[in-house]
Structure 1
Amino acid sequence: MPGFEVLYQAAALCLMYPDDGFRTRLPLLREAAPQLRVFADHAAVTPQRELAAHYVEVFESGHRDHSLYLSVWREAAPAPSEDLYRAHGLRTTGEEPPDFLPAVLELAARTGTTQPLTDHRDGLESLRTGLTSFGTPYASVLDAVCATLPPAVTAGRGVRLPRP
């Protein structure tokens, strides 16, 4: 899946908490990754405080099907570890665990390795579905990421659920 590095980097930035510098990056994100324009356009017209409150509501308020941590989703593959980052000459900041989706997207963007994303395709699809059902513009970010990956392998197994 080469060629999606810019999209992955932009998606990682979209899925981070919208800090003070977030709004200044929006024009670049919008131009660099047209697939993310729905989200970028929404974020551009939403007041900073409202955008931050929405992020907290979506990702930090205990919605079990909105987790940005790959280890939460029941998958056959283990979640990415510090060793994976080191194997590619990268280090995590330590602020978030290595299975934090924005970190994994940044890993894919910097190295071209999409294995952690494809290994957790079912969980990403479940996250996308949960965000879509919630009616959040963040769903469009997952739509764009999932569109770059091979189809989910859920046939006969049902939808993946987050761990209790």
Structure 2
Amino acid sequence: MSARLTAGPVPAADRARTFQLASLLLTYPDAELLAAGPELREAAAGIDGIEGFVEWLIAATPIEAQRHYVETFDLRRRSGLYLTYYLHGDTRKRGMALLMLKQRYRAQGLHLADGELPDLLPVVLEFAATVGPGDGEAPLRQHRQGIELLRAALHETSTPYALILDAVCAALPDLTDADRAAVSALASEGPPVEAVGLDSVGLGPDLSPYPACSSAEVSR
């Protein structure tokens, strides 16, 4: 795939398309999703990272795709999709963060399905795609540390799902030096001590090989 450099921030329409597709592709690959391969390929055209993931998904057998999803997100604490856990662990602060997200969604008319938590990354991405810049993308910016930790953990296991996180990060604002320092500290220390931890407390993913993504091209 040839490199395509973007000059300046990613346009809002392109961000919305990226977030919407990432939201869909980060859900469990059930029969309906897997049957939509041609439509997904068309929708992902021109979105680096997303294109590569869709090709992998189409080439995989249903059982391979479903087993890989479970192994990636359900069996590894360090690559969970619940963003508030990375910052707050299982503490009262996490409960408050979840409540604030629910209130933000309700203010925009979004109602969660029964039992669905508001910090699930596909939900946060769908909100950003639907509501747009400002209020819609605010939760992604607020939980950028968790997104970067998840991205690094996915790269560690060489899963194609890392391509989706690369595309999401490429659509978000560049990280500052302070942001990178905060992500590195969180990776080293793990969630607050009340929490179970990321696999084991104090052991986060190694961020050093994966500099924080900017709005520049994400190549495969």
Taking structure 1 as the reference length, the TM-score comes to 0.90
**Structure 2 partner of 1:74:** 87
Decide whether the 8 Å contact of 1:74 with 1:160 is kept in 2. yes
**Structure 2 partner of 1:11:** 22
* In 2, Cα distance between equivalents of 1:157 and 1:145: 17
* In 1, Cα distance between equivalents of 2:25 and 2:71: 15
Q: 1:157 to 1:122 in 2, by over 3 A?
A: closer
Structure 1: gaps (5+ residues):
none
* In 1, Cα distance between equivalents of 2:62 and 2:123: 23
Decide whether the 8 Å contact of 2:40 with 2:54 is kept in 1. yes
Q: 1:157 to 1:51 in 2, by over 3 A?
A: closer
SS of equivalent residue, structure 2 residue 69 = helix
Q: CA deviation at 1:47?
A: 0.4
* In 1, Cα distance between equivalents of 2:141 and 2:18: 15
**Structure 2 partner of 1:59:** 73
1:34-113 alignment runs, 5 A limit:
34=45, 35=47, 36-61=50-75, 63-74=76-87, 78-79=97-98, 81-112=101-132, 113=136
Which residue identity lines up with residue 151 of structure 1 in the other structure?
Answer: D
* In 1, Cα distance between equivalents of 2:51 and 2:185: 28
* In 2, Cα distance between equivalents of 1:72 and 1:99: 9
Would you say 1:2 and 2:9 are equivalent positions?
no
**Structure 1 partner of 2:184:** 158
* In 1, Cα distance between equivalents of 2:87 and 2:104: 20
What CA deviation, in whole Å up to 9, does each residue of 1:4-41 have, x standing for no partner? 11111110111000011011223222222332111100
* In 2, Cα distance between equivalents of 1:27 and 1:60: 27
* In 1, Cα distance between equivalents of 2:183 and 2:56: 35
Identical amino acids, percent of aligned pairs: 38
Structure 2: gaps (5+ residues):
1-10, 192-196, 198-220
SS of equivalent residue, structure 1 residue 73 = helix
**Structure 2 partner of 1:31:** 42
Decide whether the 8 Å contact of 2:37 with 2:58 is kept in 1. yes
Which residue identity lines up with residue 125 of structure 1 in the other structure?
Answer: E
* In 1, Cα distance between equivalents of 2:142 and 2:182: 18
Q: CA deviation at 1:157?
A: 6.0
Decide whether the 8 Å contact of 2:84 with 2:143 is kept in 1. no
What CA deviation, in whole Å up to 9, does each residue of 1:43-86 have, x standing for no partner? 0010001110000000001x222010011111699355221111
TM-align CA RMSD: 2.0
**Structure 2 partner of 1:20:** 31
Question: For this pair of structures, how many residues does the alignment match?
Answer: 163
Which residue identity lines up with residue 14 of structure 1 in the other structure?
Answer: L
SS of equivalent residue, structure 2 residue 184 = coil
